[in-house]
């Protein structure tokens, strides 16, 4: 008995090492058992009421950071999407709401490696704020229990360039007007202030994210109260189109 126990514990230890090495030991990373999965490949479970309740603003941010790291490394979690559709049909418990640009190169679920029911995703050119986006964030946090609001702009943003160039085009004109205050927030020493100056454009993008974060606080008493009570977090960041990396801001 002693020998077989030792054999078992040795084998179990080996399996554990393999699983830890493959990254499928955490609660959200069970091992994939589907045909075609290599041994120890991580498989993502869907968010549940209890897994959402167990998250904090800090752990929600850590998950977005980890997801982007997986995306950049080319090691996304394996997801059985039809199974995730079935598992989430009765309800949703996303842990974050992400506001990002319409840009086709910045799909939030993909670049943050999230699955069905994991995040609320609001996308609009220039990741600008309006009362509909604010209302959506209030729904996501106050009604649906999301723990984090992330505002993520991106490098070389066409909407930011449009605002810099004062583009006038149908309804786009009023959208770009929402970005204009970010131009003034960039120090006058940054020259030239044209869309050809990528450094200027990216500084306007960052200023735009920070202004949107400030506006979320100012224009939504509901979200402000939740932020003050640390029930939710608010973070800004920038997605780099050339590397796939999201740099989240410290403050
Ligand atoms: Zn953009």
* Å from CA of 71 to ligand 1 middle: 20
Question: What CATH class is the domain 46-248?
Answer: alpha beta
Q: Mean pLDDT, to the nearest integer, of 202-210?
A: 98
Whole-number Å distance between alpha carbons of 239 and 182: 18
Whether 200 contacts 192, CB under 8 Å: yes
Q: Mean pLDDT, to the nearest integer, of 233-237?
A: 98
* Å from CA of 225 to ligand 1 middle: 30
pLDDT digits (tens, 9 = 90+) for 180-195: 999 999 999 999 999 9
* Å from CA of 184 to ligand 1 middle: 19
Whole-number Å distance between alpha carbons of 207 and 185: 6
CA diameter of the chain: 81
**Prior bond of 235 cis (ω within 30°):** no
- Please report which confidence band the pLDDT of residue 4 belongs to, taking 50, 70 and 90 as the band edges: very low
Q: Where are the domains of the chain?
A: 1-44, 46-248
**pTM of this prediction?**
0.85
């Amino acid at each position: 008995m002693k020998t077989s126990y030792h054999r078992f514990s040795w084998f179990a230890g080996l399996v554990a090492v393999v699983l830890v090495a493959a990254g499928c030991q955490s609660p959200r990373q069970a091992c994939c058992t589907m045909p075609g999965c290599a041994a120890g490949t991580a498989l993502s479970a869907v968010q549940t009421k209890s897994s959402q309740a167990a998250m904090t603003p800090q752990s929600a941010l850590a998950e977005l950071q980890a997801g982007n790291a997986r995306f950049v490394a080319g090691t996304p979690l394996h997801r059985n999407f039809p199974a995730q559709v079935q598992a989430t049909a009765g309800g949703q418990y996303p842990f974050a709401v992400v506001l990002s640009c319409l840009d086709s190169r910045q799909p939030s679920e993909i670049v943050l490696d999230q699955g069905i029911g994991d995040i609320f995703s609001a996308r609009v050119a220039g990741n600008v704020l309006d009362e509909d986006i604010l209302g959506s964030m209030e729904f996501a946090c106050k009604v649906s229990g999301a723990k984090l609001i992330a505002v993520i702009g991106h490098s070389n943003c066409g909407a930011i360039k449009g605002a810099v160039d004062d583009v006038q085009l149908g309804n786009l004109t009023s959208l770009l007007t929402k970005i204009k205050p970010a131009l003034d927030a960039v120090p006058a020493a940054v020259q030239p202030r044209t869309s050809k100056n990528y450094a200027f454009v990216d500084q306007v993008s960052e200023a735009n994210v920070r202004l949107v974060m400030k506006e979320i606080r100012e224009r939504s008493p509901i979200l402000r109260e939740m932020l003050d009570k640390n029930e939710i977090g608010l973070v800004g960041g920038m997605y780099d189109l050339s590397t796939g990396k999201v740099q989240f801001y410290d403050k």
